[in-house]
Amino acid sequence: MLMKKVAARIVLAAAAAGVAGAAWAEDGPIKVGFVGGLTGACAALVEDELNAVRMGVDELNAAGGILGRQVELVVRDSQTKPDEGAKQSRELIVGEDIDLLTGVCSSSVMLAMTAVSKELKVPFYSAIGSTQKANVEAYQPYFWQVQANATMEAVAAAEYVAKKPEWRRIVPMGFDYEWGHSSVDAFTTHLKKLRPEIEITDPIFPKVGEANMAPYITAALAKQPDAIFAAVFGGGLASLIKQGQGYGMFERSNLVTLLTVDALQSMGDAMPKERVFGVARAPFFAIEDSEDARAFIAHYRSKYGEYPTDWSINGYDGLMFYAAAAEAAGSVEPDALMKAVHEITFDGLRGNALKVRAFDGQMNAPSYVGEVSFEDGYDFAIMKNVEVYAGEALMWPEETIQAARDAAK
Sign of the CA dihedral 134, 264, 156, 295?
positive
pTM over 0.85: yes
- Phi, psi (deg, nearest 5) at residue 360: -140, 5
At the second CATH level, the architecture of 151-280+368-396 is: 3-Layer(aba) Sandwich (3.40)
pLDDT tens-digit profile, the chain (409 residues): 455 445 444 444 444 444 433 333 367 999 999 999 999 988 999 999 999 999 999 999 999 999 999 999 999 999 999 999 999 999 999 999 999 999 999 989 999 999 999 999 999 999 999 889 999 999 999 999 999 999 999 999 999 999 999 999 999 999 998 889 989 999 999 999 999 999 999 999 999 888 999 999 999 999 999 999 999 988 899 999 999 999 999 999 999 999 999 999 999 999 999 999 999 999 999 998 889 999 999 999 999 999 999 999 999 999 999 999 999 999 999 999 999 999 999 999 999 999 999 999 999 999 999 999 999 999 999 999 999 999 999 999 999 999 999 998 8
Q: What is the per-residue pLDDT for 20?
A: 37
Buried b (16+ CB within 10 A) or exposed e, 70-83: ebbbbbbbbbbbbe
Beta strands, E only, 23-180: 30-36, 71-77, 100-102, 124-126, 143-145, 169-174
Three-state SS at 302: helix
Q: What is the rounded CA–CA span in Å between residue 378 and residue 288?
A: 15
Q: What is the per-residue pLDDT for 104?
A: 97
Q: Which CATH superfamily is domain 2-148+286-365 in?
A: Response regulator (3.40.50.2300)
Same fold, 2-148+286-365 and 151-280+368-396: yes
Provide the CB-side half-sphere exposure for 74 (13 A, CA): 18
Where along the chain do its domains lie? 2-148+286-365, 151-280+368-396
- Please name the helix (run of DSSP H) or strand (run of DSSP E) that holds residue 78, with its range, or none: none
Beta strands, E only, 321-366: 346-348, 351-354, 356-357, 362-363
Q: What is the per-residue pLDDT for 13?
A: 45
Q: What is the per-residue pLDDT for 3?
A: 52
Q: What is the rounded CA–CA span in Å between residue 282 and residue 147?
A: 9
Q: What is the per-residue pLDDT for 234?
A: 83
